[in-house]
Structure 1
Amino acid sequence: MLNKGDFHVHSNASDGKYSPTEIIILSKINGLDVIAIADHNTTSGISEAIEAGKKYDVSVIPAVELSTRFNNESVHLLGYFKNNMYQDDTFKEILHLIKLHRYKKAKKILENFINIEIKEGALSVLEGINLLKSFGASVVLAHPMRISNNNINQILKLPFDGIEAKYSNTNLRTTFYFITLALTRFSFYTAGSDFHSVKSKNSKHSFIGTVYLNNSEIEIFLNKSGAMILK
């Protein structure tokens, strides 16, 4: 039985301080029995996390945090994978190009999988959603409470599977609002500390396991998303 899960954690495969193995150890210490390593535009830390998870009895859901833009605002998408497509070479190449801001080349490859809305510049939110779904992920809008009022309502009309309703340093009223919205408009919600470092100076992030889903919430998330658990 899975009782406590943090589904938005960063390792040093992107901009976190700690290795995937260290993340697993910190998760165990803080009572987590399931996590998602969701690094920025890379899945390279997942394999190490899975191996460490076997050793320390922490389950891992393969995930990624994808960078997109909407009306010149940065919008992040969380993809939770239902299968091993996160290991696909083409997918990894696309992520690598996005990480390097080589969007034109990335979109050239993407044209084989999805409709491209904008030929130039970063991926649009819809392109990002379609990319992740094309490679076997359920797609969640990351930290909607950080998106501007000018854009959030339009973004929430896009075909997400769920939203990250429980998030680092968010008050109960806002959390309840997004939980209600998720259950009304989408299939599920997730929770994420957005952990990067023990000594993070970013007030948007919190310590691993501070924000989490409980047993019943995890069950709903897994059933609705189809996310794969590796242990």
Structure 2
Amino acid sequence: MANIYLNLSLYSFDLHIHTTASDGIFTPSEIVQQAVDKGLKTIAITDHDTIHGVQEAQSAGIQAGIHVIPGVEISTRFQKKNIDVLGYGMEDLDLLEELLRPFREARTHRAERIVRKLCQLGMPLTLDDVKEFSGDHLIARPHIAHAIVKKGYAPDLQFAFDHYLGDGKPAAEDKLQISVEDGIKMIHQTGGKAVLAHPVYLPDRSWVPLLLKHPFDGIEVWHRSHSWKDSEYYLLLAEKHHLFVTGGSDYHNPSHKLGDFIKKPT
């Protein structure tokens, strides 16, 4: 396994990145420039339930000499737990955009419900206040958090999540999720490969082989939250199930490190 680390260190890629098209704080073009600054050669834009950032990133990538893989992270559910399914290399992006339309509409309705709850909690807010931060992109909770902070209802984004928007908090609302099977089917139907995202976030390790009974093509072995031992275990599972492996930082903001997600062996 130590030799694998040495080999991986020769590569420069990050296959799990979010932009302002979902809940990241950098535009797709800004992400590409940051990738250039980091010396990355290949990246994938994997926004939540949308591919709106892909075209801008690919155009910027052509200019910068960076390969940008079209990606997406689809919200699914299995046994009442959130399961993220990464998709890579989808060929029919027009069809995928149409298949993802219900997610976009559901996110808008969810935002409306959250805004109503915030108003009932004594924090007058409008959807236009939120769209000031989301623009024409899919509305995510960080956009609402930004609006809360701007209105002076919270000192920072973390406070907004901890007190109002986080799971189980007074203004929380569930997002649309489809079955794992349907998420994988959506990716395959549009010519892509489906990957089980950050398995370390599952309730426990027993869930990983259980989920791999679904027709996944790959597993995210390397992630900023994976220890070396975690990645070692996931790599063995990938070999057992004949899956390809991926890795990424799950980059959203400066608290994460673009291109830095492979832990050294201990």
State the TM bucket, normalised to the shorter chain.
0.7 to 0.9
Q: 2:260 aligns with which of 200, 210, 214?
A: 210
Asked whether the 8 Å contact 1:86–1:92 carries over to 2, the reply is no
Does residue 57 of the first structure (1) align with residue 107 of the second (2)?
A: no
Deviation at 1:35, TM superposition (A): 0.2
How far apart are the structure 1 equivalents of 2:177 and 2:68? 29
Q: Deviations over 1:12-53 (max 9, x none)?
A: 100000000000011111111110000000000011101111
Deviation at 1:122, TM superposition (A): 2.9
| Alignment match, 2:152 | none
SS in 2 for 1:35: strand
Q: 1:182 aligns with which of 238, 242, 246?
A: 238
Flag structure 2 segments of 5+ consecutive residues without an equivalent.
1-9, 111-175
Q: Deviations over 1:76-101 (max 9, x none)?
A: 00000242x12335234244245457
SS in 2 for 1:8: strand
One-letter amino acid of the counterpart of residue 28, structure 2:
P
- When normalised by structure 2's length, the TM-score is 0.65
| Alignment match, 2:138 | none
Does residue 128 of the first structure (1) align with residue 136 of the second (2)?
A: no
SS in 1 for 2:24: coil
How far apart are the structure 1 equivalents of 2:50 and 2:56? 13
SS in 1 for 2:251: coil
Greater Rg, structure 1 or structure 2? 2
Q: RCO (CA 8 Å, sep 6+): is it higher in 1 or 2?
A: 1
More helix by share: 2
Asked whether the 8 Å contact 2:200–2:225 carries over to 1, the reply is no
How far apart are the structure 2 equivalents of 1:98 and 1:187? 32
| Alignment match, 1:115 | none
Q: 2:36 aligns with which of 28, 35, 41?
A: 28
SS in 1 for 2:193: strand
- When normalised by structure 1's length, the TM-score is 0.75
How far apart are the structure 1 equivalents of 2:98 and 2:47? 18
